[in-house]
Amino acid sequence: MEPFRFYAAEISYFSAKVRPALRYKNVPFAEILPTPEVYRSVILPRTGLGFIPIVVTPEGETWQDTSDILDALEVRFPERRLEPSTPVQRTAARLLELYADEFLVLPAMHYRWSFPESVAKARADFAAVNGDPDAAKKFADRMSGSILALGVSDASKPAIEAHLRDLLAALETHFAAHPFLLGDAPSIADCALMGPLYAHLYLDAVPGRLLRETAPRTCHWIERTNHPDPDARGGWLEGDALPATLAPLLGLVGSDAAPLLLDGIRDLEAWIDREGRVGETPPRGVGLHETVLRGARLRRYTSPYSLWMLQRVLDPVASLGPQGRSRVETAFSGSGCEALLAAAPVHRMGKRRFALVIER
């Protein structure tokens, strides 16, 4: 069989989310470096976007956006499932995917671009992957310049660092009891957390030391998730249960990520009310909004994509019957995630090919 083509890089956040899924599901694939020539001849013409990773199937179909890629993999390779189909575990997995994709970019980008030692390594890594030092430098300049718009500033750095310390402590406790987030097998939650935790925090110079010195069990989870055992037969906890040790992690999602993400959604909804047109593709950022993390004020760009990610959490919950919904409510009550689950956006994002479009 022709291999699937995975256009990706080791130090790329979103590539690190998909790679463990390809390996776990035993997908025959070749990983191809995103050189300028590959952007020009494959990525841009196929997607119209400058994002990695993308997957090209043996039939020549293009998959883009890691959430859509994981969905497509689940359909094409249903054997070793990564997406729970039961209400509570599915909601936990989707909440953690939202948290990993949309919130953990704060510590991931801060630890890569705020410390000279990390910056030097990341710039060298970019050049090694890209092959064209000038193009790599331009890309690194753009990435390092983007952290202010994400909300990484002198005022917010202590809060971002405190969040990461608490996250690592929660993960250390959890991984002492269970090998993966939902039990004995990985899920999309493990894949999503690999983005920030492996591609940035484990590989970058300064946080790499922090992880190795303070979070050995998390380091082993990273290695284990990246190198799935083909003989492992374990599953998630029985009866749609969540491990008790997941509670502190969900608590961090609820206390720190939920308010920040919801402030962004509120600002986006106000922008769509004012300026959005159904059927149109919004800009990647539609202005700036204020939010708060552990008492620190952050100014961040408002991202239409965040609404599309939030819908991935809310849609499956909305399709549940009353029993399923009440199980979800019970499971997340007291976690602080209730506010995310109760969100009822007026507007809606869809996609046309790979571009976001305002659907409502």
Ligand X SMILES: N[C@@H](CCC(=O)N[C@@H](CS)C(=O)NCC(=O)O)C(=O)O
At what angle are helices 66-76 and 13-24 packed, to 10 degrees?
10
Could you say whether residue 130 binds ligand X (CB under 6 A)? no
Contact 126, 136 (CB under 8 A): yes
Within 10 angstroms of residue 248's Cβ, the number of other Cβ atoms is 16
Question: What's the min distance (Å) between Cβ of 309 and ligand X?
Answer: 8
- How many residues bind to ligand X according to rule CB under 6 A? 9
Complex with ligand X: residue 58 or 145, whichever CB lies closer: 145
Q: Would you list the DSSP string of 125-163?
A: HHHHHHS-HHHHHHHHHHHHHTHHHHT-STTTHHHHHHH
Does the footprint of ligand X cover residue 102 (CB under 6 A)? no
- Chosen residue from 5, 65, 108, 228 binding ligand X by CB under 6 A: 65
Please state the closest distance from residue 94 (CB atom) to ligand X, in A: 14
Pick 183 or 304: Cβ nearer ligand X: 304
52 binds ligand X (CB under 6 A): yes
Out of 4, 7, 13, 198, the only residue in the binding site for ligand X (CB under 6 A) is: 13
In terms of C-beta density within 10 A (0-12 exposed, 13-18 middle, 19 or more buried), how is residue 72 classed?
Answer: middle
Q: Could you tell me the two tokens for 321? A: 């019957």
Please, which of residues 334-353 interact with ligand X by CB under 6 A? Answer: none
Q: Is residue 117 classed as helix, strand or coil in its secondary structure?
A: helix
Give whichever of 66 and 156 is closer to ligand X, judged by the CB atom: 66
Could you tell me the two tokens for 66? 């890691």
Of positions 50, 133, 287, 334, contacts ligand X by CB under 6 A: 50
Name the segment binding ligand X (CB under 6 A); options: 47-55, 211-219, 313-321, 327-335.
47-55
Question: Interface with ligand X by CB under 6 A: which residues?
Answer: 12-14, 50-52, 65-67
